[in-house]
Chain A
Amino acid sequence: MDDKTPQASPRPSATFDDYTMSEIRRAASTGIYDIRGSGAKRSLPHFDDLLFLGASISRYPLEGYRERCGTEVTLGDRYASKPLQLKIPITIAGMSFGSLSGQAKEALGRGANLAGTSTTTGDGGMTPEERGHSKLLVYQYLPSRYGMNPDDLRKADAIEIVVGQGAKPGGGGMLLGQKINDRVAAMRSLPKGIDQRSACRHPDWTGPDDLEIKILELREITNWEKPIFVKIGGSRPYYDTALAVKSGADVIVLDGMQGGTAATQNVFIEHVGQPTLACIRPAVKALQELDMHRKVQIIVSGGIRNGADVAKAMALGADAVSIGSAALIAMGDNDPYYEDEYRKLGTTAGSYDAWHLGRDPAGITTQDPELASRLDPVVAGQRLANYLKVMTLEAQTIARACGKNHVHNLEPEDLCALTVEAAAMAQVPLAGTSWVPGQGY
């Protein structure tokens, strides 16, 4: 063969791509699985695979900037005497003090206040600062019960019983020792510096019959005032939603696999659970069959990024959405401003996910005082509020174009899908056809 013989280009394997091979080499070198934060990073059917049809001869649009399009939402009026009243249908998801810095938690509260929405505690309990900076605060009731006490329960505006989360349905968590300073340790009744396991099962109830009694107890302790949310991971949304309703939930929080977590195994994040898009319709179907749609509200989370995602979730039947990762990005997480420091950590802005190690250059997922002080809670809170405002305006823009005077009036009929997969999951027609996979020919 001489040098004039045509050569085929080197062909990388689609199965053993660069990332896969690097992970094999990493595993072979360390003998330990990869742990990281954030949600599923693989490409999944998502809201981008849906499009709104907009108005036409058969649909009448509303005038932008002139005709009202409502965004307010009431959460928890099934049984609670004091349901949550939000100005926008976008809430802040549960994230713990411990996983996040105190400054980050304060910023979340400030941003939510400015936007007229709620924020949520996480594993580790409620801090006075968080309560003070959050007009509407949802208190998570988790399997670990770290920091759980009846005084804080009564101070909350709603209670969220966490059964699972989208990043790791069926899994617990581990806050590594390097993030356990004196305060975090005291809140969790554990020694400083040791890994803190967050259990995967609640310690005193198993199954829907027990959950019903647990909800009764929480209502009795809080005088039947607080809305009770039940958060489920995107595992079996039809059955889990039905069982949560049967157990007496006021609100379902449904978290798909793109939803973030503070830390868990990469293999868990990428290979357990269902995409957010695939979860919504089964959950809404369960509510409709029980005649509970819009009576028990449903909040969808996991990969919500913009107003189009908000509107699409609404059209598929959600009452509200929740954001976690996007809120952190709005506040400065993964900002290219810190590129030099991300490089020193062996990553790059946009890919940083070692949230569990506590060395976040942006001062968000850390307990290091120097790093945490980089985040100005007032500035970060304003950035979050701006972002929430933009998302809301975007959702309203789309809703008006579809002729809706409230974002809740969006419906599946307003949508089509770009792929067969998305059409099947969202149960809307493939674009250019009237074909909905699974609903005949």
Chain B
Amino acid sequence: MNSLDLQTLGLRAINQKLQSLEAKTNEREWTITNPMGQHAIACGLTVPIEITVDGHAGFYCAGMNQEATVTINGHAGVGVAENMMSGLVRVKGNASQSAGATAHGGLLVIEGDASSRCGISMKGIDIVVGGSVGHMSGFMAQLGHMVICGDAGEALGDSIYEAKLYVAGSVESLGADCIEKEMTDDHMNTLAGLLEKAGINKDAHSFRRYGSARKLYNFDIDKADAY
């Protein structure tokens, strides 16, 4: 295990070090100490290394991640794992707004709660939230899965495309064109697999599924009052 002290080394030096590692490196495990809520920690990583951020992280931690596993032993600021392409990001605490925004792939696990706009414009990522999510989560969500073990705030899945949302608790309200959908065996299996992968012990049968009614996919003036 290699240790990098952010307070001593500074953000640029740490990111530069981690970004320069090659896929075949033997130095696979790294801990970043004293993160102090700084922004853009461990962003732009490209190889399958394991990073532990030992404390709270600011905005965009693990942004645009590819292949790496990043664990945050604390809370995460706005846009954790934004535009992630692959890999795994785990937040042990809570996450601020726009967690996993626009991300194309990989798995984001938030063990606590996530604030508003979780999974906004998600494009293929899988997100598992152990707690609840705030309003407008899944806004314009395109692809991927979002699993919410707690409750969802208002306007869940507003203007959603093809992403699939699973909620165990209550949903304050659904957004435009988002409806509850049938939970088939395939969906149940997918959900159970995601929970297992995330390491969250929750019965898949306690969830309900939400997705797009696909009524607003092509502009129709007679449906303009839906927005």
* Chain A residues in the interface with B (C-beta under 8 A): 30-32, 144-145, 148-150, 153, 174, 176-177, 188-191, 193-195, 197, 199, 203-205, 210, 213-214, 216-217, 220-224
Q: Cβ of B82 and Cβ of A150 under 8 Å apart?
A: no
Q: Cβ of A203 and Cβ of B40 under 8 Å apart?
A: no
Residues in B whose Cβ lies below 8 Å from that of A148: 83, 102
Residues in B whose Cβ lies below 8 Å from that of A153: 64
Residues in B whose Cβ lies below 8 Å from that of A221: 43-44, 63-64
Complex A-B, nearest 5 residue pairs according to Cβ-Cβ distance, in ascending order = A221-B44, A204-B79, A145-B102, A194-B217, A204-B98
Residues in A whose Cβ lies below 8 Å from that of B78: 204-205, 210, 213
Verify if B54 is at the interface (C-beta below 8 Å from A): no
Known A195-B219, A204-B60: A190·B161 in contact at CB below 8 Å: yes
Residues in B whose Cβ lies below 8 Å from that of A149: 64, 83, 85, 104
Verify if B123 is at the interface (C-beta below 8 Å from A): yes
Q: Cβ of B15 and Cβ of A220 under 8 Å apart?
A: yes
Given contacts A153-B64, A210-B59, A222-B44, 10 further A-B contacts (CB under 8 A): A145-B101, A148-B102, A174-B219, A189-B142, A195-B218, A195-B219, A197-B140, A204-B101, A213-B59, A221-B43
Bound complex: CA A402 to CA B27 (Å): 63
Bound complex: CA A31 to CA B222 (Å): 9
Q: Cβ of A220 and Cβ of B58 under 8 Å apart?
A: no
Q: Cβ of A31 and Cβ of B221 under 8 Å apart?
A: yes
Bound complex: CA A224 to CA B12 (Å): 9
Q: Please report whether the interface of chain B is mostly helix, strand, loop or mixed according to DSSP.
A: loop
CB contact list, B97-117 vs A, under 8 A? 97-98, 101-102, 104, 117
Bound complex: CA A191 to CA B63 (Å): 26
Bound complex: CA A176 to CA B44 (Å): 33
Residues in B whose Cβ lies below 8 Å from that of A32: 221
Give the contacting residue for A217; candidates B40, B159, B219; CB below 8 A. B40
Bound complex: CA A100 to CA B63 (Å): 30
Q: Cβ of A190 and Cβ of B142 under 8 Å apart?
A: yes
Q: Cβ of B59 and Cβ of A189 under 8 Å apart?
A: no
Residues in B whose Cβ lies below 8 Å from that of A193: 218
Q: Cβ of B40 and Cβ of A220 under 8 Å apart?
A: yes
Bound complex: CA A236 to CA B58 (Å): 30
Closest Cβ of chain A to B99, distance in Å, is 9
Closest Cβ of chain A to B109, distance in Å, is 19
Q: Cβ of A203 and Cβ of B142 under 8 Å apart?
A: no
Bound complex: CA A30 to CA B140 (Å): 28
Verify if B162 is at the interface (C-beta below 8 Å from A): yes
Name B163's closest neighbour in chain A (CB-CB).
A189
CB contact list, B168-220 vs A, under 8 A? 217-219
Verify if B11 is at the interface (C-beta below 8 Å from A): yes
Residues in A whose Cβ lies below 8 Å from that of B83: 145, 148-150
Q: Cβ of B117 and Cβ of A203 under 8 Å apart?
A: yes
